[in-house]
Chain A
C-alpha cells in the first residue's frame, strides 16, 4: 500500500427510523470501516436488501449516517463528509466525488447529451467543450447518435443507464461511487462501460462499486466488502 487513501470510513452506521410507521427502527449496518486508495476499486457485496445502496448513498451524503465518519480527501486534506455543512458537501460533490446511481432520474425535456454535458459544465468546462466531451462519451458507450438530442424519458433501461454512466464519468473525479453501473447492459455495451471504469481507475480514481455481475466485478475490483456481515442488531 503506497497510494494515499482517498476515502476512509470509520465506524459508519445507518438505522432508518420510520416515524410514519410508529417509529419502527430499521437497522441496516453498523461499525463499517474501510479505506480506498487512489487507483483502487472496492466492490460492495451482499444479497438484495443487505444495504449496499444505503452505504453507497451515505458516502455521497444522500443519506444521513446514524454514526461514524466518512473521511474524504478534498482539496488536499481529509474532510469528514458526514459532519460537513451542506455547503461543503455540495463542494465535495462538485469537485471530488462522482456518483452513478442505480437508475437515472430523468429530467423532463432535457436531451441526453445536455444532461451529460451539464455535469462537465458544473465542473467548470465551457459549454462547447462539455458538449463535445459528452458526445464522445456517448459514442464510446454505443448510444445511437439519433438518441443524443432526445430526452431520455422514453429510453430503454440500458440506454438510460449509459446516459447515467456518461454523466458520472465525464469528469475525472478523484472518488467514484457506482451503483450497478452495468446491470442493464448487454455484453457489448458492458464492455464499453467496463473500459471506461478501468480508465478512470488508471487515471487515479478511488472507486466504490456495487455490481452483481461477477465477471465485471473480477475485472474492476481489487477488494470486496460484504455489507451483510455488518448487519446492526435490531
Chain B
C-alpha cells in the first residue's frame, strides 16, 4: 500500500522570468504513488509557473525536479535526453489543461482523440483501440452516439471530460491538472469533480492539482500547499490546512470563501 519510494521530488525549485520577475521560489516536496497534492494561492502566486516546471515544460532556474522514470528510481527530469523526456510525458505523465482546446485535437473526433493517445503509447490493434476509447468515453459519461463527433460540437464540460479520457486511457502514473474545473459553470464543475474524484481513487494515480478553488482541493487532494508571491507559505494535510490554517495568508484565503 504505502510504498516508500517517492514518485516525484521537487528540491528547491525556483524560476525567475527573463525580466527578473519571480515565478516561484524554493519549492520542495515529495509525492508518493497514488497521492494527490493540491496547490492553492491567488492568481499570480506562481502556481502555474511551478506546475510548468514540475511537468517538464519550463526549466527551473534553480533546484531540481526528479521523477521515478521507468520505475528505476529518481532522475532529474531536465537531465533526460529529449527522446527520453518525450517518452516520459507520453507514457507516465498526463497533463489536464485548463482549456480543453489546448489538450485536444479539435479536428479529430472524440473517439479519435482518445484512440490517438493509445496509438502514441504503442497500441496497434484497431479493434482494441476502438473498444478502449469507447470504454473510456463511457467512464467520463460521454454518450456512445457522440463518440464520432468533433469536440468542437461539445460543451465545455464535455470537452473537459474527453480531455480527461484522452489522458487517463494510457494509464499514466502521474497527472498534472491546472484549474481542471475552471471556466465551467458551477453544476458542471461539481459533476466533473465527482468524476475526477472517482477516477483518481479507482486508478490510484498520483496527481498535482493547481487551482484557486478550495472546494476542488478539499474533495481531491490529500495534501495541500498554499503559495504566495512564488513561495510555499504552508503545507500539510488538506483538511488541516483548510480547517486550522496557520499562516496569515492561508487564514485570509480560507476566510475569504464561504465554507469550502
Contacts and interface: CB of A to CB of B under 8 A. Distances in A.
Interface of A: 16-20, 57, 61-64, 86-87, 89-91, 94, 107-110, 118, 121, 124
B248 A64 contact: no
Nearest to B219: A107
A109 B252 contact: no
15 contacts: A17-B246, A61-B237, A61-B240, A62-B244, A64-B236, A64-B240, A86-B222, A86-B235, A86-B236, A89-B237, A90-B237, A108-B190, A118-B201, A121-B201, A124-B1
Interface in B224-260: 235-237, 239-240, 243-244, 246-248, 251-252, 255
A62 B32 CA distance: 21
Given A107-B219, A108-B194, A20 B248 contact: yes
From A63, A64, A118, A121, name the one whose CB has the most chain B CB atoms within 10 angstroms.
A64
B134 to A, nearest CB: 22
Contacts of B235: 86
A62 B240 contact: yes
A107 to B, nearest CB: 7
A86 B255 CA distance: 23
Which of A20, A91, A110 is packed against the most chain B CB atoms within 10 Å? Answer: A20
A62 B243 contact: yes
A121 B2 CA distance: 15
Interface string B1-16: 1100000000000000
Given A18-B251, A90-B222, A91-B2, A109 B194 contact: yes
Interface string B210-223: 00000000010011
A169 B170 CA distance: 37
B35 interface: yes
A108 B32 CA distance: 28
A110 B195 CA distance: 10
B191 interface: yes
Given A20-B252, A90-B237, A64 B246 contact: yes
A148 to B, nearest CB: 18
A101 to B, nearest CB: 10
Nearest to A121: B201
Contacts of B190: 108-109
Nearest to B244: A63
Contact of A19 (B35, B244, B252): B252
Contacts of A87: 2, 32, 35, 223
Nearest to A127: B202
A63 B252 contact: no
B258 to A, nearest CB: 14
Contacts of B194: 107-110
Nearest to A87: B32
Contacts of B248: 19-20
A145 B52 CA distance: 49
Interface string B184-197: 00000011001001
A109 B191 contact: yes
A63 B222 contact: no
A86 B244 contact: no
Most buried by B among A94, A108, A118, A121: A108
A20 B253 CA distance: 10
Nearest to A109: B194
A90 B1 CA distance: 12
A191 to B, nearest CB: 31
A64 B250 CA distance: 14
Given A19-B252, A20-B251, A20-B252, A86 B223 contact: yes
Given A61-B240, A64-B236, A20 B246 contact: no
A104 to B, nearest CB: 14
A35 to B, nearest CB: 24
Given A62-B243, A86-B236, A107-B197, 15 more contacts: A18-B251, A19-B251, A61-B240, A62-B239, A62-B240, A63-B243, A64-B244, A86-B235, A87-B32, A90-B222, A90-B223, A90-B237, A118-B201, A121-B201, A124-B1
Contacts of B223: 86-87, 90
Contacts of B201: 118, 121
A43 B1 CA distance: 34
Contacts of A16: 244
Contacts of B191: 109
B107 to A, nearest CB: 33
A28 to B, nearest CB: 11
